[in-house]
Amino acid sequence: MSKIAAWFEERLGISAVVRFGAQKQVPLHKHTIWSYTGSAILVFFGIQVATGILLAFYYRPTLEAANASLERIMTEISFGWIVRSIHSWSATFMIITVFVHLVSVALTKAYRKPRELTWMTGALLLAVSLFFGFTGYLLPWDELSLAATKVGTDIPKAVPVVGEWATKFLRGGDDVTGDTLSRFFILHVTVLPLVLLLLLAVHVYLIQKLGMSLPLESEIRGEKAPGMSFWPNFVAREAAVWLVLLGLLITVAVLFAPSLGPPADLMAPAPEGVKPEWYFLFLFQTLKLFPAKVGFVSGETIAVLLIGLGALALFLLPLIDNRPETRKGKIVAAAFLAFLAYALGMSVWSLL
């Protein structure tokens, strides 16, 4: 065994990586717990890739076969139902963890100088994660997924000048058809994973280069936090969190497997009470609040432009809040909390 290990060591130099991990320090303080959130997202993404590949062995992205192939996965293929259920629940868990990670780095102001680009690549990762959810929602090709995608892809139309083109581009034509299904499938299984991996590489490179942030209060006081070695101490603690999350994921996936509606009919009228996935509910409710016309301008155009402005502000947050230790920093934190309360309130309202 030791000869085999030495053969690999000579070629791969793994011991240098282990030594590097042992020297790398993770700062220990009362907010260290939030540093587990990033790697938890990675675990869920890994599960998405593994279960997604298994589903793709049997899934057929065509108008005639999509719904039936998923029905077959759930009823005829060994363990198909649990693989589908884990894929669906792990997507939800991944998005929840991305939100928790975002809120934790926002409230600890970990985006402050020099971590502005870490935040910005993170914000793009959020957009990609949401787009993963949006494209995946259509793939079962049932009544609900068709209706929700029609509503969702209609929204860009409200943007002046490029809106019509964006909707057409997303749908692959004027309406949601079989072309939209194959377009969404390709985005979901090739384009988005590649974009996510690329962004992730930059995100993780920056975290490695800059090290983990200290709490703002300690930095202002010029304190030095005690550290814990990344390998094996921090990784062992992270692994304990992963195991708990995995247990939770398997439990809900077994108990609450997602259902599958009858195949979508392009000619049928939209069913009552169409709602998007939970993470789009607050946007959906915001759009409903605006009247048809505000003066000469369509209410939807104003709402979409305001939402776009909000997303841009989130992306540029480290540049807006460039002096987090000042009064301006406190106002930004209060505005962020107000936005969270708004998003939560709107989501609950849209469910009532």
What are the residues binding ligand HEM (CB under 6 A)? Answer: 35, 37-39, 41-42, 98, 101-102, 105, 110-111, 115, 118-119, 122-123, 125-126, 129, 200, 203, 207, 212-213
Residue 46's nearest CA partner among 240, 244, 246 is 246
Comparing CB distances to ligand HEM, the nearer of 111 and 279 is 111
State which residue, 143 or 321, has the beta carbon closest to ligand HEM. 321
For residue 332, what are its two tokens? 């930004």
Provide the token pair at 275: 């709602």
Q: Give the other-Cβ count within 10 Å of 44's Cβ.
A: 24
Nearer to ligand HEM, 87 or 203 (CB): 203
Q: Mark 153-175 as b/e (b = at least 16 C-beta within 10 Å).
A: bebbbbbeeebeeebeebbbeee
Distance, first Cα to last Cα, the chain:
63
- Residue 213 CB, shortest distance to ligand HEM, in Å, is 4
Name the pairing type of β-strands 227-229 and 25-27.
antiparallel
CA 134 vs. chain centroid, Å, equals 10
Shortest approach of ligand HEM to residue 206 CB, angstroms?
8
Spatial distance between the Cα atoms of 122 and 140, rounded to a whole number of angstroms: 29
Minimum separation from the CB atom of position 231 to ligand HEM (A): 14
Q: Residue 35 region, left (φ>0) first, then alpha (ψ -120 to 50), else beta? A: alpha
Residue number, 106 or 176, with CB nearest to ligand HEM: 106
User: Closer CB to ligand HEM, residue 5 or residue 319?
Assistant: 319
CB of 300 to ligand HEM, least distance (A): 27
Residues 48 and 91 sit within 8 Å (Cβ to Cβ): yes
In angstroms, what is the minimal distance from the CB of 195 to ligand HEM? 11
Of 170 and 314, which has the nearer Cβ to ligand HEM? 314
**Could you tell me the smallest distance in angstroms from the CB atom of residue 43 to ligand HEM?**
9
